[in-house]
Amino acid sequence: MYQATEITSFVRKAAREAGFDLAGVAPVREFPELERFLEWVAAGRAGEMKYMEARDQAGCLKRASLRSAASWARSVIVCAINYNTAEAYSTEVRDPQRGWISRYAWSREDYHEAVMRRLRAVEVKLHAIATSTEYRVPSSEQEQELQTRCYVDTGPIVERVYAKYAGVGWIGKNTCILNQKLGSWLFLGVILTSLELEPDLPAPDRCGSCTRCIDACPTDALIAPYQLDANRCISYLTIEKRGAIPDEMREGMGRHVFGCDICQDVCPWNRKAAATQAPEFQPRKGLVNPALEWLAEMNAGEFQEQFRGSPVRRAKLSGLRRNAVIAMGNSGDRRFLEPLRKLSHDEDAVVAEHARWAARKLTS
């Protein structure tokens, strides 16, 4: 029989060699957090993110049960890489003419591709070691072909749950994975495998009595410890939400134009978070505190050029411009009135309506 402990150690080594900062193995189980995910979806807290509600032929939520989505999987390898950079946090930025793009989206390369490239390197080494003479299951046991599958935010799996049980970190009250040494600025990638590997111990919760993330959320999206209502989350509103933003949510969005880092910025575990050494996660020019007027007046060609290979493309041009005019309205800077009056007649009806709202807010 293959040596599960030795292969698990080998996988950790392969992950380090691929550039990951953390790696661990979780078993495939019906964890209690997955039951809560099912309840979260049923309560409508996923908003318009219908991919969260993907179901199998039996009508079961795929993300709520990996055994249902990938019946052959026996273990989940979870790898994490730090993406923090040595730039100021959003809570430290005060320039009213500039907006905020979430830290993870500054990168020179889309993190999906950067993380997947590293995962593939680990996967190749896993196949090599698992089928080597030293570790291979004897043919007399009718060994089945090793199966693996890599995912970076795209699979039927709640990554942070498996990250917890792989010992990578605990799930914080802001629902992000937190690591005692690296904080929460972590990209996660997973490799499902048919191998029954030696699992790690789950990471202990170290949030204690702290509620800084909950207290700091300007839209009250963290409705309770460990509970997020996406409908109220700035990241959801600026990235996933299409069309008009509800009036009552606009003011709370502040000057965020793509994503939100507030609940991580105020976390004590991020106070001394180290900066990444990965060159592809360094910020692109102009994306740290971008000029709001530039974003609001951006055309399709500029959008394609500026955000080629960037996560920001997910918001689409209309969404990014909509977010920028909301931020202009929240800036308190009346110098935005002239461009907003022009934008109130924009050919994009969504942008025009939000520009009218923003102008009213600046003059009220």
Alpha-carbon span 120 to 7, nearest angstrom: 17
Residue 73, Cβ density class (10 Å: 0-12 exposed, 13-18 middle, ≥19 buried) = buried
Length of the chain: 364
Closest among 213, 297, 227 to 263, alpha carbons compared: 213
Q: How many CB atoms lie within 10 A of CB 221?
A: 26
Q: What is the CA radius of gyration of the chain?
A: 22
Please, are residues 221 and 230 in contact by the beta-carbon 8 Å criterion?
yes
Pairing verdict, β 148-151 and 186-193 = antiparallel
DSSP code at position 211: -
* Active-site amino acid positions: 153
What DSSP character marks residue 266? Answer: T
CA-wise closest residue to 197 among 2, 8, 360, 38: 8
